[in-house]
Amino acid sequence: MKLLIDVGNTSLKAKLWQSEQVQACDLNNLPWHAITHVIYACVGRSELLNTILAQAAFNSISCFEAKVTKTLGGLTCAYEHFNNLGIDRWLALIASFTLYPNKACIVVDAGTATTIDVLNCDGQHLGGWILPGLDLMTRSLTQNTQRVFDDENTPFTNQLGKNTPNGLKNGALVATIGAINQAKPYLNDKNTQIIFAGGYGALLQQQFKASIFDPMLVIKGLNYWYELDENSNKL
């Protein structure tokens, strides 16, 4: 059993991995007797992560931090300076590459920021974009303009706005939809799979036919990163 930990910009997500399945866990009552490895990725600092790693060390459990590499198991990073690619983006790419082999993918992680990455059917990452997330996009306007205001009860919808909160939130949504659509010509592949993750992934997935929302995409990527990294070290 593996303990998989994803430390994002604003939260820590932890799951157990056993028999190719993601399982929920209680961080206050972890089954240390059954855990063989701790695999983690860290975008931001976390005292909770430090506590968990200390507990793992006390129980003599090996810990592995996921890192971006230029290549991994047939997947190639587009960045010349690959260390500058966010580990969460790399893990989402690894998961998409593993779950949808030989398939072109557009991978969208919609959280604090919205990242869009393009992966061709040969495992070549072509690059991507980083956008403000939907909340960050709307907040930047309300904080930096005089007459634009928001309403917490107003949803994001793919419609023309007929009041200021509608116009603000719907504008953020359609801007993000437009950015995702802009990625399609880079692949020129009718069988492209669009995969969404993150807090607003489910909302965005509803805007694209035959797309997939996988809330565990980055967590799965942690497990696949470990497996691919372990295999590459054996060669």
The helix/strand/coil state of 61 is coil
The gap from C-alpha 144 to its chain's centroid, in whole angstroms, comes to: 28
Q: Which residues contact 77 (CB under 8 A, 6 or more apart)?
A: 68, 69, 70, 71, 85, 90, 93, 125
Residue type, 41: A
Residue 12 annotated as binding?
yes
CA 123, CA 197: separation in Å to the nearest integer?
19
Residue 11 annotated as binding?
yes
Residue 71 annotated as binding?
no
User: Both tokens of residue 84?
Assistant: 């500058």
Residue 10 annotated as binding?
yes
CA 235, CA 137: separation in Å to the nearest integer?
45
Residue 229 annotated as binding?
no
Q: Tell how strand 2-7 and strand 12-18 pair up.
A: antiparallel
Residue 68 annotated as binding?
no
Please, are residues 40 and 56 in contact by the beta-carbon 8 Å criterion? no
Please name which of 17, 121, 123 lies closest in space to residue 72, comparing C-alpha atoms: 123
Residue 164 annotated as binding?
yes
Clarify whether 151 is annotated catalytic.
Answer: no
Residue 88 annotated as binding?
yes
Residue 122 annotated as binding?
no
Q: Could you say which of 88, 122, 135, 151 is catalytic?
A: 88
Residue type, 112: T
Residue 44 annotated as binding?
no
Binding residues: 6-13, 79, 86-89, 109, 112, 164
Residue numbers in the known binding site for substrate are 79, 86-89, 164
The binding site for ATP consists of 6-13, 112
Please give the positions annotated as active site: 88
